[in-house]
């Protein structure tokens, strides 16, 4: 068996819990719009704005893997519908910046930062996300060799593009990599389909049962080094 060289990590619900992060970002986003575009807030509640955004994606499926552009473009359209004609693009971009800044205000799972620092001494670490979290804005980025988002490669997990980008960056074969993530389809099935090992993160209250394809699973970050070593040792 090949020795493990690379650890690829999902971000949302693997390094931090996503729901409270997004909720805070959405609140900051809508509050900003209340000041910057009151006519839009009068027309769209937060729920209605989200429904509009989803409807916009259905009409523009090419934006499926470009979620930042999707949010900007759909908000631009909502602003036009609210009477902001020439101003709409600038207002949408400024509002997205507010959301994006808040989106990066994450709270790592307990022990995550310490374990990442330890693992980075023995393995290359690369992050792979379908979302638009920017790992480079966080202190833990110092432990990572590279970071890839779906919008950079034009395809989201479980498609192979993100996994292959990590393997190419690290100059590794699939059997020399373990992917760690929470989503049974995107992370576990996706990684296994390209020949990687997969460890399932079960760190939130809504985490699914262990997937039969997962080589290991954990619900405490302190367990992860032992599980990796078990695979590494064969």
pLDDT in tens, 163-185: 999 999 999 999 999 999 999 99
Sign of the C-alpha dihedral, residues 75, 80, 84, 90?
Answer: positive
Calculate the CA 8 to chain-centre distance. 13
d(CA 179, CA 168): 14
d(CA 86, CA 122): 53
pTM for this entry: 0.92
d(CA 123, CA 125): 6
pLDDT of 170: 97
Question: Of 103, 137, 157, which residue is a domain's last?
Answer: 103
**Residues 120 and 224 placed together within one structural domain of the fold:** yes
CATH number at residue 114: 3.40.50.1000
Average pLDDT of the segment spanning 187-201: 98
Which tokens sit at 231?
């695979």
Instruction: Name beta bridge partners: 12.
Output: 16
d(CA 203, CA 11): 12
**Residues 115 and 193 placed together within one structural domain of the fold:** yes
d(CA 172, CA 5): 7
Q: Is the peptide bond before 11 cis (omega within 30 degrees of 0)?
A: no
Name 27's Cβ contacts closer than 8 Å, sequence gap at least 6: none
Question: Of 103, 126, 156, which residue is a domain's last?
Answer: 103
Q: Give the pLDDT band of residue 1 (cuts 50, 70, 90).
A: very low
Residue 209 domain-assigned (yes or no): yes
How much is the mean pLDDT over the chain? 96
d(CA 5, CA 73): 40
Residue 25 domain-assigned (yes or no): yes
**Residues 40 and 92 placed together within one structural domain of the fold:** yes
Residue 48 domain-assigned (yes or no): yes
d(CA 49, CA 97): 17
Residue 143 domain-assigned (yes or no): yes
**Residues 12 and 32 placed together within one structural domain of the fold:** no
Instruction: Write out the residue range of the structural domain in which residue 156 sits.
Output: 6-16+108-233
pLDDT of 112: 98
CATH number at residue 70: 1.20.120.1600
DSSP-derived secondary structure letter, 139: G
d(CA 71, CA 74): 5
For the chain, the domain total comes to: 2
Q: Give the pLDDT band of residue 2 (cuts 50, 70, 90).
A: low
pLDDT, tens digit (0-9, with 9 covering 90-100), for 70-87: 999 999 999 999 999 999
**Residues 122 and 87 placed together within one structural domain of the fold:** no
**Residues 10 and 118 placed together within one structural domain of the fold:** yes
Average pLDDT of the segment spanning 151-163: 95
pLDDT of 11: 98
Tokens 């990066």, residue located? 104
**Residues 79 and 133 placed together within one structural domain of the fold:** no
pLDDT of 234: 72
pLDDT, tens digit (0-9, with 9 covering 90-100), for 37-73: 999 999 999 999 999 999 999 999 999 889 999 999 9
Instruction: Please compute, for residue 216, the number of CA atoms within 13 A of its CA located in the half-sphere on the CB side.
Output: 21
Residue 1 domain-assigned (yes or no): no
């Amino acid at each position: 068996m090949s020795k493990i060289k690379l650890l690829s990590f999902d971000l949302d619900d693997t390094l931090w819990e996503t729901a409270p992060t997004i909720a805070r970002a959405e609140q900051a986003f809508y509050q900003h719009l209340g000041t910057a575009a009151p006519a839009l807030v009068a027309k769209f509640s937060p729920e209605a704005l989200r429904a509009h955004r989803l409807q916009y994606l259905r009409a523009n499926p090419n934006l499926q893997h470009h979620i930042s552009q999707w949010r900007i473009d759909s908000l631009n359209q909502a602003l036009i519908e609210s009477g902001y004609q020439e101003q709409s693009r600038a207002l949408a971009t400024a509002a997205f910046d507010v959301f994006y800044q808040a989106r990066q205000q994450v709270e790592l799972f307990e022990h995550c930062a310490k374990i990442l620092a330890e693992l980075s001494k023995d393995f290359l670490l690369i992050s792979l996300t379908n979302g638009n979290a920017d790992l480079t804005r966080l202190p833990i980025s110092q432990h990572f060799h590279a970071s890839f988002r779906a919008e950079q490669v034009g395809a989201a997990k479980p498609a192979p593009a993100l996994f292959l980008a990590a393997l190419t960056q690290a100059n590794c074969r699939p059997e020399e990599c373990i992917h760690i993530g929470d989503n049974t389809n995107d992370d576990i099935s996706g990684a296994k389909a390209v020949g990687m090992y997969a460890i399932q993160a079960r760190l939130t209250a809504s985490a699914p049962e262990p997937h039969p394809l997962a080589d290991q699973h954990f619900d405490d970050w302190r367990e992860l080094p032992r599980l990796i070593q078990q695979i590494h040792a064969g």
